[in-house]
Chain A
Amino acid sequence: MAQNARSHKASKVVERMGKKLNRQMVGSLVGCVHCGMCAESCHYVLANPDDPTYAPAYKADQIRKIFKRNFDWTGKIFPWWVHAQDVRTDEDLEKLKDIVFGKCTNCRRCSLNCPMGVDFATINRMARGLLVSVGVMPEGVAVVSKDQWEVGNQMGVLPQDYLETIEWLSDELENEFKDTAARIPIDKMDADVVYAINPREVKYDPRTISDAARIFYLAGENWTMPSEGWDMTNFGLFSGDDELGGAVVQRVYEKVIELRGKRLVLSECGHGYRSTRCEGPNWSGTGVPPFVIESSVLTMLRYIKEGRIRVDKEKNRAAVTFHDSCNNARSCGFYEEPRELLNLLVTDFREMYPNRAENFCCTGGGGAMSMSEYTPQRLKSAIIKADQLKATGVKVVVTSCHNCVDGLTDVIRHYKLGMKVTQLVNLTANALVIPEKVVVPVEALISVVTLPLQGFKILVVDDEPDILTFLAAVLEDQGATVIQAADGEQALALTIQEKPDLVTLDLSMPGKNGGYVFEEIRNNPEIASTKVCIITGKPELRRLIYERPVAPPEGYLDKPVNEETLLTNIRMILELKRPHGHA
């Protein structure tokens, strides 16, 4: 019997598949007529025309054949006729893993273009979930899933680190506006807006939190951020784990209810929006929550329309294009509002083609950014996105999704497009017209930014002399004492000798590479507590750092890094308060 020949894991996969088969799933599993329409819409196929294994219909067939062999009468009786085939071994599961995780970003462009209504992304997601349930998944998926299950957010930001970052940003905001009310409230009861974010903002891009806080403050909003349930992203959407999906949204919903919040506003994140607003009620089994859920794009648009904030588009004069996130546009029909807002914020907006629900994936969707083993094929297929971006002729891409920010940044870097990615919250904050009553005196601003890194010793490590010079110049301008090392050996020696407060560390260096240096630092009790910020041009090496059996680095930045991002992150890592503190 086929069942007896299966490995334990394969048996569990088939057993669980039976429980996942609802009408929508079966419709997609039996509906394909292999017409090829899906192939024409998939960026993997378009970038790899000679490789049929990328065709959505082919990929679906790898799941479909298991369904037919085990659950469909035709496959049970005439397996050879309908190409039904069982999954037998753990090796079969590994092969399936490389297809469902490595050859599809679940962007749903093929689903939209299927005349038979086959939603391949849905069955692909189901297959991911089946594999995850038996522990077959890329290591990056395991890391992120475990972080979200146990720590409560996708990036493993510990509760104390989250609260300290918000506190630090609050101090900055208060100083900026010289107003003790200009702070980020935590767990304020009866707020009109509870603002939930993507943990990427806390870990790598706190500027987006500051920008949102400026907007809420100037709008006079009664708002708060929650101390728990603040991560509105949801790796369950990517991993296919409905239980994780339900647990995450339940934590978010319950916190809003506990705070008696009236409206849950989600920062710009495509999959977070889809998960929390659209899929969440089903996954959690709690039904539609008793409060409004909206994207911060709508919130910002409303503030402008109601005159609660004023913006001046002349402050954003660079020509920009807009990239629709797959989850926002294709899965939630959310694409006109971002454009309406964008047109209020910039002087020169140029559409990218195709756009809206037909836009191509950033190529980092579906959790692809966490699966470094598939990076080469992801970036190869990204030529479609790169050509699309290049054709716009602009140097700034706006998107309303954190995942897309990372995906697009990677594409831009790989194809050397020389473009910058930003979000609507950044453009809105930049365009804000500050009312007279909160105008910050010039003197105050000058005093606030006076040498904030004074007294800190920082070791910068990079084998590229230009980058060393840049890092040193920026940090010295801010008052830091900077030491430089051009290779790993020198870096280790200087860390022991100089005991710097912080080491900025390149990963890819000849000789002792950054990963080795990092582990040596962590394993040497004398210098183990030195703060480390990885700065690398090879994001695929990230897993090599985070999988090491030592405490993770305090910060991580992708090259090219600009001055503002560098300083924001360095100050955050050093947990630095503005020198002039509270008003």
Chain B
Amino acid sequence: MLNELRVNEKIIRLMVGFITDIQNMDGIVYYARPDLTLGAGFGTAISTQGGPKVQEELKKTGSANITDVVVTGGGNLQAKYILHAVGPRFQEEDSEEKLEATTLNVLRKAEEHKLQKIVFPAMGAGFYGIPLEVSARVTLGVAREFLEKAVEPKEVVFCLRDSRELKVFQENLQKMK
């Protein structure tokens, strides 16, 4: 199955791993809560590995609306930046459109900060209940379209947690070929 898609001189790549452990990334995307509390899941990883600085920066912003993206430093993480993307949750209205807007806002922030390589999780899938198929189709589609025109980022990685997620992303990437 397809794990990479070249878009002009840029690339979309799929992999299985743990997002905060991925090396050589300029930015990590975190699917954030509107109150910007890091909370559980990948939030635990960010607060444990990144240290308290990340949450301190978020405190200054306070809260955010759905589709907003807040950029902080990566604290002690290897990545320089964390892009806190407040995406739709739990079957809320217009989830698909909101996910599309959130993903686009992440990519715009990445371009604004001149990030060469960023890594996404399966946005909204799992705990927040966005169907995996929707997450894959929407985020891959937005990424591809954005990379066709933008200068940065050069590489967009989707770091998935298991083969179940990978399979759906591979199928959607295949369709875009």
Question: Which residues from chain A sit less than 8 Å from chain B, CB to CB?
Answer: 8-9, 12, 133-135, 142-147, 149-152, 156, 158-160, 244, 247, 250-251, 254, 522-523, 525, 528-529, 546-547, 549-552
Contacts and interface: CB of A to CB of B under 8 A. Distances in A.
B164 A551 contact: no
Contacts of B1: none
Contacts of B52: 522-523, 525, 528, 550-551
Contact of B162 (A151, A251, A523, A547): A251
A142 B164 CA distance: 22
Q: What class of interface size applies to chain B in its complex with A?
A: 20 to 34
Interface in B26-82: 37-45, 47-49, 51-53, 55-56, 58-59
Contacts, number: 96
B122 to A, nearest CB: 10
Interface in B83-137: 89-93, 121, 126-127, 129
B109 to A, nearest CB: 22
B55 A133 contact: no
Given A142-B40, A254-B163, A247 B126 contact: yes
Q: Which of B40, B43, B44, B162 has the most CB of A within 10 A?
A: B40
A549 B39 CA distance: 7
Interface of B: 18, 21, 37-45, 47-49, 51-53, 55-56, 58-59, 89-93, 121, 126-127, 129, 161-164
A523 B18 CA distance: 26
A546 B40 CA distance: 9
A251 B163 CA distance: 8
Contact of A150 (B58, B59, B127, B163): B127
B8 to A, nearest CB: 32
Contacts of A144: 40
Contact of B40 (A146, A152, A550): A146
A529 B48 CA distance: 10
Given A152-B18, A528-B52, 16 more contacts: A8-B93, A12-B91, A133-B90, A146-B40, A149-B126, A149-B127, A150-B42, A150-B121, A156-B45, A158-B44, A247-B162, A247-B164, A523-B56, A529-B51, A549-B37, A549-B47
A145 B127 contact: yes
17 contacts: A8-B93, A135-B90, A142-B40, A146-B40, A146-B41, A150-B45, A150-B161, A156-B44, A158-B18, A158-B48, A160-B21, A250-B162, A250-B163, A522-B52, A549-B47, A552-B44, A552-B47
Contacts of B121: 150
Contact of B47 (A145, A254, A550): A550
A251 B92 CA distance: 28
A23 B82 CA distance: 47
Q: Which of A9, A143, A146, A158 has the most CB of B within 10 A?
A: A146
Contacts of A551: 47-48, 51-52
A244 B90 CA distance: 14
Query: Which are the 9 A-B pairs with shortest beta-carbon distances?
Result: A150-B41, A135-B90, A146-B41, A149-B126, A146-B40, A156-B44, A143-B40, A551-B47, A149-B127
Q: Which of A8, A523, A528, A551 has the most CB of B within 10 A?
A: A551
Contacts of A546: 40
Q: Which of A9, A133, A160, A244 has the most CB of B within 10 A?
A: A160
A550 B55 contact: yes
Given A159-B18, A247-B164, A549-B55, A133 B129 contact: yes
Contacts of B40: 142-144, 146-147, 150, 156, 546
Nearest to B19: A150
A522 B18 CA distance: 25
B91 to A, nearest CB: 5
Contacts of A149: 41, 126-127, 161
Contacts of A145: 127
B106 to A, nearest CB: 18
A122 B55 CA distance: 40
Nearest to A145: B127
A147 B38 CA distance: 12
Nearest to A136: B90
A146 B162 contact: no
A166 B126 CA distance: 28
Contact of A159 (B21, B91, B93): B21
A191 to B, nearest CB: 20
A556 B110 CA distance: 38
